[in-house]
């Protein structure tokens, strides 16, 4: 596989973010969002969006920091690149970002029916810490899963 790299998303990345989100909208239980909505979301400084590339953009993800915990708020891979290790690469990258910020815990939410996401998180060492009812963006009530992983920072035992 060619080199994978990432950068913080900017307004120029909105078409890619929107397109990839729409390609994955069914498993996200999402709703259509205009470019103006994506622009507002990217401008919100409480979240950071990243673009992942292999020559061209292939994925994006969002992180949020909350009380010494980093939350992976969204992880979207272009369908053409599913099951090629991009998700695992992103989880490793997110862990590196957390360690750089001195954060010990990473949390991720998904739904019961998103089996690929659940398998990815489990295979990367994330453990289910909560199962309960959640309302997804499409307004439906579903079973939600919270996964968490505790990281040991450099110098800790």
CA distances, 10 to each of 15, 38, 52, 137, 138 (Å): 11, 11, 13, 24, 26
pLDDT value at residue 155: 59
pLDDT value at residue 27: 84
- Domain assignment present for 13: yes
Residue 125 region, left (φ>0) first, then alpha (ψ -120 to 50), else beta? Answer: left
- Domain assignment present for 157: no
pTM, full prediction: 0.90
- Domain assignment present for 71: yes
pLDDT value at residue 117: 93
- Domain assignment present for 28: yes
Tokens in use for 104? 């010990």
Tokens in use for 76? 């979207």
| One pLDDT digit (tens) per residue for the chain, 157 residues | 578 999 999 999 999 999 999 999 888 888 899 989 999 999 998 899 999 999 999 999 999 998 889 999 899 999 999 999 999 999 999 999 999 989 999 999 999 999 999 999 999 999 999 999 999 999 999 999 999 999 986 655 5
pLDDT value at residue 1: 57
pLDDT value at residue 68: 86
| CATH code for the domain in which residue 40 is found | 3.40.630.30
Domain range for 84: 5-150
pLDDT value at residue 66: 85
- Domain assignment present for 132: yes
């Amino acid at each position: 596989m060619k080199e994978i790299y990432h950068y913080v998303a900017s307004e120029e990345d909105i078409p890619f973010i929107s397109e990839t989100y729409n390609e994955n909208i069914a498993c996200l239980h999402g709703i259509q969002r205009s470019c103006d909505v994506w622009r507002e979301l990217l401008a919100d400084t409480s979240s950071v969006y990243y673009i992942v590339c292999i020559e061209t953009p292939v994925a994006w993800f969002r992180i949020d920091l909350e009380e010494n915990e980093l939350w992976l708020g969204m992880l979207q891979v272009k369908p053409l690149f599913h099951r090629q290790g991009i998700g695992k690469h992103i989880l490793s990258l997110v862990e590196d970002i957390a360690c750089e910020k001195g954060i010990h815990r990473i949390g991720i939410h998904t739904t019961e029916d998103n089996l690929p996401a659940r398998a990815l998180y489990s295979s990367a060492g994330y453990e289910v810490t909560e199962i309960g009812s959640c309302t997804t963006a499409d307004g439906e009530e579903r079973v939600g899963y919270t996964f968490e992983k505790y990281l040991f920072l450099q110098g800790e035992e």
